[in-house]
Amino acid sequence: MLGERLQILVSTDQRRRLEVEAKRRGTSVGSLVREAIDTRYGAVTEDERTRAVAEIAAMRGTFLDLDALEHLVDEERLAVVPQSRR
Amino acid sequence: MTFLVDANVVIYSAIESPYRAPCLELLSAIARGRAPGRLSTAILEEVWHVERSGRAGDLTGLTSRAYTAFTPLLPVTDTTFSMALSLDAPALGTNDRLHAAVCHEHSIDSIVTADADFDGVSGLRRVDPLDEPALRTLLGVS
């Protein structure tokens, strides 16, 4: 729901860029600003973030030392993901 | 000051080891908005690969949870790639170069990682998760 009015000053160039992009996408300048706010500052609440970390804390993975972990990441581009995990 | 969080910190948060407690403390502080830690798209992609490989046990959902905790991610852009190409860091692999370039692009001078390869990168300070004093300084805890 859009119930808050925000008045901001931007430069001529910023306004021009917003208008060009809005025209290209067939949307409004306001929509682009709202999208930029969500992209830059996120749309996730603190509760959701802390819950996500609590769920990570409940995980029980298998330890790999740093060399093994780095090797696993490095070989990514060569590895074939097992069918069951696609 | 904003700092970058490496993939091993996220992964070790989900695995029992000496790294786990400090890594979880860091993630918790970030989730609560008490520490300005960021992830990049390239770093989270590494976490995703480890999760999907199954070689670090069952980490199902780790990437999506880390995404929730850290969104918005720092992007890897054309500028990032250009900076990575010109980075003078012989010890770093290609992905790590992208991580270092993300730091430079966003004026980030610290990376929390267990990977000592980042020690020699100009303009970037590595904070090891097991270095409690350095970690506490980063978190602003005395």
Rg (CA), chain A: 22
Query: Could you count the other beta carbons within 10 Å of the beta carbon of residue B81?
Result: 13
Q: Could you tell me if B66 lies within 8 Å of chain A, comparing CB atoms?
A: yes
User: What parts of chain B have a pLDDT lower than 70?
Assistant: 142
Label residue A35 by pLDDT band (50, 70, 90): confident
Smallest Cα distance from A37 to chain B, Å: 10
User: How confident is the model at residue A43, as a pLDDT?
Assistant: 79
3-state secondary structure of B131: coil
User: How confident is the model at residue B82, as a pLDDT?
Assistant: 96
Smallest Cα distance from B125 to chain A, Å: 19
Q: Could you tell me if B34 lies within 8 Å of chain A, comparing CB atoms?
A: no
Q: What angle do the packed helices B132-139 and B20-31 form, to 10 degrees? A: 0
ipTM of predicted complex: 0.94
Taking CB atoms and an 8 Å cutoff, what residues of chain B touch A51?
Answer: 68
Label residue A47 by pLDDT band (50, 70, 90): very high
User: How confident is the model at residue A79, as a pLDDT?
Assistant: 56
A and B: number of Cβ contacts within 8 A: 107
Taking CB atoms and an 8 Å cutoff, what residues of chain B touch A57?
Answer: 13-14, 24
Burial class (CB in 10 A: 0-12, 13-18, 19+), B117: middle
Q: Could you tell me if B71 lies within 8 Å of chain A, comparing CB atoms?
A: yes
> A36: nearest CA in chain B?
B72
Is there a contact between B49 and A69 if contact means CB atoms under 8 Å apart?
no
User: How confident is the model at residue A83, as a pLDDT?
Assistant: 54
- Write out pLDDT tens, residues A17-31: 999 999 998 999 999
Is there a contact between A48 and B68 if contact means CB atoms under 8 Å apart?
yes
User: How far apart (Å, rounded) are the C-alpha atoms in residues B140 and B129?
Assistant: 15
Out of A44, A57, A63, whose CB is closest to B71? A44
User: How confident is the model at residue A84, as a pLDDT?
Assistant: 54
Is there a contact between B69 and A56 if contact means CB atoms under 8 Å apart?
yes
- Ranking A66-70, A75-79, B15-19, B64-68 by mean pLDDT, the lowest is A75-79
User: How confident is the model at residue A78, as a pLDDT?
Assistant: 61
